[in-house]
Amino acid sequence: MLRADKAGEPSGSVYSAQMPSACLYTVSNFAVPYTIPPGAAANLDGAANIVDNGNVYNTMWTYPQVIYYIGDAQCHQMAARTLWLNGNQMPMDARMTSIYAFANFGLLSAMFAAPSTSIAQGIVNALPKRLAAWGRRHLGPGVLAAIVVALGILPVAVDGFVQLLTPYESTNATRVLTGIPTGWTGGLLVGVMMTSIRQVGVESAALRSRTPAA
């Protein structure tokens, strides 16, 4: 079993609730279109960060209703930019669906990495050993971690801003592909931050246990 009770060991206990919850939410995004009749979630175009279609979701039973509400609160749900299953739009558009799905792999990478109180070091610890060793030697953990985060976000940033500022219209395949590195990076960041917070407590407790009582 993975643990987070000693410095340098892979961390697992901190993810005992977060990882199952994240996986369940991801599966739910793909499952709920099949739990409602075809056409029940269609033409949901709206604005991001606001619930536009509550009247539609209120006709659904509880499970899909909750998942669609969560998706609508984050995403514009434009029909042309969303994947369809069972004649229904998924709760979020193609890019956000991809980001959330691959964030699970980022969490998994953080879970199996050696824990550190440093977020930058934690990110580096999740990389392949040869790349991590090269980066520590030539760049330092801070620079290497910043590069990893920047490269993870770059595909979505480029595709999104080019689409915003020019007549170019991305495709759902491109949205899914650009969401992969961003999702992994986001999941890795969240996981490393959770591990780092936990590791501060672990190392503080270990230090106190070695300090003789006055």
pLDDT digits (tens, 9 = 90+) for 171-212: 999 999 999 999 999 999 999 998 888 887 776 776 667 766
Contact call for residues 111 and 10 (beta carbons, < 8 A): yes
Selected residue with higher pLDDT from 31 and 114: 31
pLDDT digits (tens, 9 = 90+) for 130-153: 999 999 999 999 999 999 999 999
pLDDT of 3 reads: 43
Q: How far from 105 is each of 67, 122, 137, 206, CA to CA, in Å?
A: 21, 15, 27, 30
pLDDT confidence bin for 4, thresholds 50/70/90: very low
Residue 91 CB partners (closer than 8 Å, separation 6+) = 29, 32, 41, 67, 68, 70, 71, 72, 75, 77
pLDDT of 116 reads: 87
Reduced to 3 states, what is the DSSP secondary structure of residue 89? strand
Q: Where are the alpha helices (DSSP H) in the chain?
A: 18-31, 54-57, 62-74, 94-112, 119-125, 129-138, 141-165, 172-210
Per-residue pLDDT averaged across 4-25, rounded? 67
pLDDT of 164 reads: 86
